[in-house]
């Protein structure tokens, strides 16, 4: 039987033959039914041969059915729309046969007889198709003995569409719907019961998974649901977002695990498209550190804004190749892509690149960001983070680039580690160049470069994020390692951070320190608990020794803070974007800063680590 079903599913000609056979039997049976319903002999047996009449009627019916696409649709996905089409085709058949009805039918063709005949044919052809559809779905499910038992959370339109898709696919056994609306309790959708969310504990043993089918669900409520389901060690999957579905990128049945990004931070704020595209469209845009997580996401966002060209600078060959291949697969033909293998420390390379490619805007994302690694390799961290920024600023001024945006970090605020201190010094380089530009406005200089910087906290799933680390630790069975139970950080998704960075370009006046609203700070310990729950696992502790994943505290690392902050001075100013703020912070003037940077560079070249660190401390204080 299974082989026969597989043959039917694979062969279009066999499926069409079966459908035609069903219609032949349905049409024949309809004659006998109407005889019984109307109490008359429909066929004129005495005047015309009944077999000839039947074959004539059948030939016209099949011809119309075939020419109007009756045998082209897939029966496994039969819907109400398909049934409406069948009824219209049956009506068309009867209308086409009206001119010869007096020859064929033994009784007068009145409206009642016409309607009854139409209803019978429609009912027979439709019901047999529905039975065949359900039989195929049943056999498809039968072939998968280990089918998952699931509950769909959300009895709205998304939940209904998901159930239809899953039933057609045969990959899940839907036990029930769950919904927060108590008025839907004890009702059903296509025979599948709906239970109130507050009763879920009574039925949780009947399912293996929960499928969250509310695309517009607020983050706070999503957290509550995941926490509740996760407490029973039941994994959650969710449908894609409304944006992903409506854009055609994915289908509602493309279920994905709930990620930590879905549970952290605030509800998404849509970008201001006037700010987003203004300085980018039709311009030549350069991204340094294009192979890094933030640089790569900037590239993805920028190509949507239709720049004239995109210039990628990256010194890691493998990373540059990866982002180059990705952007090539997404970029439109009218955008030119240039990949430059080289260091942002190379001033000559930068000048040649900016000049030859007529670069208008530079996003400087190249930096060493891993706090422990920079702490162990301080001279390289200082050299890369400070002097690449200095080279970018000088090259941009020489060539006449319109705008330079430095990607900074919250660790630059009152830094306690070398990475943060080097990024604060990089900020001061940008501020010094911005001041020089302000002073140049009164001179005869025609081109003025606008320098600004954007400071934000941790980016989820970036190369320096704890998320990949925790994911690997959970995958390996634990433990999850956290330095301190009270460590708290700001988090933002990489997409939102990149969009906000691009939008600051429209807001910059020169020397701006832009701060991104990172939402509420989050304890790393709480985040680890969430990640354990969404993995369908439980915390192993003294109170739960049989749990799956343990959390260990390893102690604060050198230079690590318990809390991060975004402001040196408490004076943020709002902008036209609700999540972007501007701060004017103190800095060292160029005539004082540049000599110290030259001295620091000499200490780095001679590997005088202690002297270099003392000088860096003097600069940022």
595 preceded by a cis bond (ω within 30 of 0): no
What's the Rg (C-alpha) of the chain? Answer: 34
Decide if 497 contacts 530 (C-beta within 8 A).
no
**Per the residue annotation, which of 283, 411, 423, 561 is the catalytic one?**
411
Strand pairing of 488-489 and 522-523? antiparallel
Is 333 noted as a catalytic residue in this protein?
Answer: no
580 beta partners: 516
Decide if 104 contacts 79 (C-beta within 8 A).
no
The rounded distance, in Å, linking the Cα atoms of 430 and 390 is 8
H/E stretch holding 38: helix 12-38
How far CA 65 is from CA of 16, 28, 71, 133, 208, in Å, comes to 12, 15, 7, 19, 44
The rounded distance, in Å, linking the Cα atoms of 539 and 480 is 10
Q: What is the DSSP string of 54-76?
A: HHHHHHHHHHHHHHTTTTTS-GG
H/E stretch holding 452: strand 450-456
**Could you give phi then psi for residue 539, rounded to 5 degrees?**
-75, 130
Count of residues making up the chain = 621
HEC string of 395-445 equals HHHHHCCCEEEEEEEHHHCCCCCHHHHHHHHHHHHHHHHHHHHHHHCCCCC
The rounded distance, in Å, linking the Cα atoms of 429 and 406 is 10
Helix, coil or strand: residue 332:
coil
Write out the catalytic residue numbers: 411
């Amino acid at each position: 039987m299974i082989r026969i079903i597989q043959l039917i599913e694979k062969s279009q000609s066999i499926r069409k033959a079966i459908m035609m056979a069903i219609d032949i039997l349905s049409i024949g049976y309809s004659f006998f039914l109407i005889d019984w319903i109307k109490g008359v002999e429909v066929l004129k047996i005495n005047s015309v041969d009944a077999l000839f009449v039947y074959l004539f009627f059948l030939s016209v019916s099949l011809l119309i059915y075939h020419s109007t696409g009756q045998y082209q649709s897939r029966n496994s996905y039969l819907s109400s729309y398909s049934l409406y089409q069948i009824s219209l085709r049956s009506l068309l058949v009867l209308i086409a046969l009206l001119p010869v009805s007096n020859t064929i039918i033994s009784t007068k063709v009145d409206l009642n007889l016409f309607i009854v005949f139409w209803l019978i044919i429609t009912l027979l052809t439709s019901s047999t198709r529905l039975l065949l559809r359900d039989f195929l779905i049943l056999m498809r499910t039968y072939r998968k003995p280990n089918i998952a038992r699931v509950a769909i959370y959300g009895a709205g339109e998304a939940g209904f569409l998901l159930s239809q898709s899953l039933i057609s696919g045969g990959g899940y056994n839907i036990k029930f719907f769950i919904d927060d609306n108590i008025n839907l309790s004890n009702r059903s959708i296509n025979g599948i019961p709906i239970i109130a969310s507050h009763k879920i504990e009574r039925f949780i043993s009947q399912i293996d998974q929960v499928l969250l089918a509310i695309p517009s669900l607020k983050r706070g409520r999503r957290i509550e649901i995941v926490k509740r389901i996760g407490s029973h060690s039941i994994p959650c999957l969710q449908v894609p977002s409304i944006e992903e579905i409506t854009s055609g990128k994915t289908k509602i049945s493309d279920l994905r695990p709930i990620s930590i990004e879905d549970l952290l931070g605030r509800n998404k704020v849509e970008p201001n498209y006037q700010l987003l595209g203004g300085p980018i469209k039709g311009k030549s845009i350069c991204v340094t550190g294009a192979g890094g997580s933030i640089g790569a996401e900037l590239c993805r966002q920028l190509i949507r804004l239709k720049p004239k060209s995109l210039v990628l600078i990256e010194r890691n060959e493998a990373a540059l190749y990866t982002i180059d291949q990705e952007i090539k697969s997404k970029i439109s033909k009218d955008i030119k892509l240039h990949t430059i293998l080289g260091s942002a420390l190379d001033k000559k390379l930068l000048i040649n690149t900016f000049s030859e490619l007529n670069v208008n805007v530079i996003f400087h994302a190249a930096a060493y960001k891993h706090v422990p690694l920079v702490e162990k390799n301080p001279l390289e961290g200082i050299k890369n983070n400070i002097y690449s920024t200095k080279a970018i600023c000088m090259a941009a001024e020489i060539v006449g680039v319109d705008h330079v945006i430095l990607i900074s970090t919250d660790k630059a605020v009152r830094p306690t580690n070398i990475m943060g201190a080097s990024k604060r010094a990089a900020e001061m380089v940008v501020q010094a160049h911005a001041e020089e530009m302000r002073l140049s406005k009164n001179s005869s200089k025609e081109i003025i470069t606008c320098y600004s910087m954007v400071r934000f906290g941790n980016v989820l799933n970036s190369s320096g994020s704890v998320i990949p680390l925790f994911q690997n630790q959970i995958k390996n069975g634990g433990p999850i390692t956290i330095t301190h139970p009270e460590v708290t950080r700001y988090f933002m998704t990489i997409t939102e951070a990149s969009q906000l960075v691009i939008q600051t370009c429209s807001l910059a006046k020169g020397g701006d320190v832009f701060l991104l609203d990172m939402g509420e700070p989050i304890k790393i310990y709480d985040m680890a608990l969430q990640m354990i729950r969404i993995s369908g696992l439980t915390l192993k502790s003294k109170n739960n020794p049989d749990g799956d994943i343990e959390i260990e505290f390893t102690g604060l690392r050198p230079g690590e803070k318990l809390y991060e902050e975004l402001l040196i001075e408490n004076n943020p100013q709002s902008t036209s974007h609700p999540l972007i703020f501007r701060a004017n912070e103190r800095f060292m003037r160029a005539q004082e800063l540049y000599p110290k940077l030259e001295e620091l560079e000499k200490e780095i070249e001679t590997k005088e680590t202690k002297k270099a660190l003392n000088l860096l401390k003097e600069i940022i204080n």
